Amino acid sequence: MAISQRLRGYMDRCGTRFDEWPHEHSSEMARAAQAAHVPGRQVAKAVLVQAGDEYMLAVLPSSKHVSFHFLRQWLAREVSLAEEHTTAALFPDCELGAIPPVGAAYGLKTIIDDDMLMDRDVWFEGGDHHTLVHMNAENWRRLQKGAGHFAFSI
């Protein structure tokens, strides 16, 4: 499958440079990070959440978990994990569990955990379980223009 065409087009329009790192199939982000010899804190994972009546992406290090309590406090509304069929509908060009952490490419608001803004390099699944996308922090921030951020992972 490789990188989602929608994601690739968005990255090209933003003028971001990136590398593709093929790896053996892995449906777990921790294993994908191991395959690329990358610390889990540098691998971004996307979690589709429903916040009130809208969907948004919560982006955090793959080594952490979303605190729905923190999200509810910050967003001042009910927040829950989106259902799998919704994820499939919003990301039709991606395998389940490999959605890219770039909500703007899919017309979704994005909130980023502060820990994802600390490192010099970021890695993430680009739409399948066979390819990691790698880019430097400058390009990562360019992709995330307009996204909110705060500490919401545990």
In the chain the domains, ranked by start, together with CATH numbers, are 5-150 (3.90.960.10)
CB 153 within 8 Å of CB 117: no
* Least confidently predicted of 14-28, 63-77, 128-142: 14-28
Residue 52, SS3? coil
Residue 29: predicted pLDDT:
67
CA atoms within 13 A on the CB side of 120: 0
Q: 146 and 104 in contact (C-beta within 8 Å)?
A: yes
Q: What is the per-residue DSSP string for 107-127?
A: T-EEEEEGGGGSSSEEEEE-S
pTM score: 0.91
